Amino acid sequence: MRLEERTEKVNDIFEGKIIHVHVDDITLSNGKPGYREVVEHPGGVCIAALTDKNELLFGKQFRYPFKEVTLELPAGKLEKGEEPFVTAQRELKEETGCTGKDWIPMGKMYPSPGILKEVDWLFFCRVDKESKDLELDDDEFIEPLRIPIEKAVEMVMNGEIPDAKTQLLILKAAEYLKR
């Protein structure tokens, strides 16, 4: 069996400021008709920024869909036509006030590939210049903090950090540093 599905018709449902939703009529791998619900997102970045004290920079923020405060590494949405590395540098500065050096791409992830067409690009860097002056968007409220990387790994393993991109990047950064 060929693992491929063919799009027959795209039915647009919603075009928002950030997302686009469509339900597509498709032909399944077995030749039968089917449909797929798709949410398109421009993609984003996540940054593991390590201080000289082996601390990662984090932010606490309220996440409306879950009605809770989450602990996340600095992250943000790609602007139209923007390269992920440029987004990463911008988001690190905006959300932490800091700049990075010795940047290393750590791959990409698909947050929920069954319905969400989004790619999150992961980066590791060392903190270069520190500042407490955040440059947040008007609708963004973040409480910055620092956590030793060993403690962050422990928090992932204990289920204290539910954000997928943050979990993955903490573990990748810790493994990178071991090597």
Q: Which tens digits make up the pLDDT trace of 51-92?
A: 999 999 999 999 999 999 999 999 999 999 999 999 999 999
Neighbouring residues of 104: CB distance < 8 A, sequence distance ≥ 6: 123, 124, 125, 176
Q: How confident is the model at residue 115 (pLDDT cuts 50, 70, 90)?
A: very high
Q: pTM to 2 decimals?
A: 0.94
Averaged pLDDT for residues 146-161: 98
Query: What does the pLDDT read at residue 19?
Result: 97
Query: What does the pLDDT read at residue 92?
Result: 97
Query: What does the pLDDT read at residue 175?
Result: 98
Averaged pLDDT for residues 120-142: 91
- Taking alpha carbons only, the member of 18, 123, 36 closest to residue 73 is 123
Q: How confident is the model at residue 134 (pLDDT cuts 50, 70, 90)?
A: confident
Find the helix packing angle between 149-157 and 164-178, rounded to 10°.
Answer: 130
pLDDT beyond 90 at 130: no
Neighbouring residues of 51: CB distance < 8 A, sequence distance ≥ 6: 57, 126, 127, 130, 146
CATH number for the segment(s) 44-178: 3.90.79.10
Query: What does the pLDDT read at residue 131?
Result: 82
Q: Residue ranges of the domains in the chain?
A: 6-40, 44-178
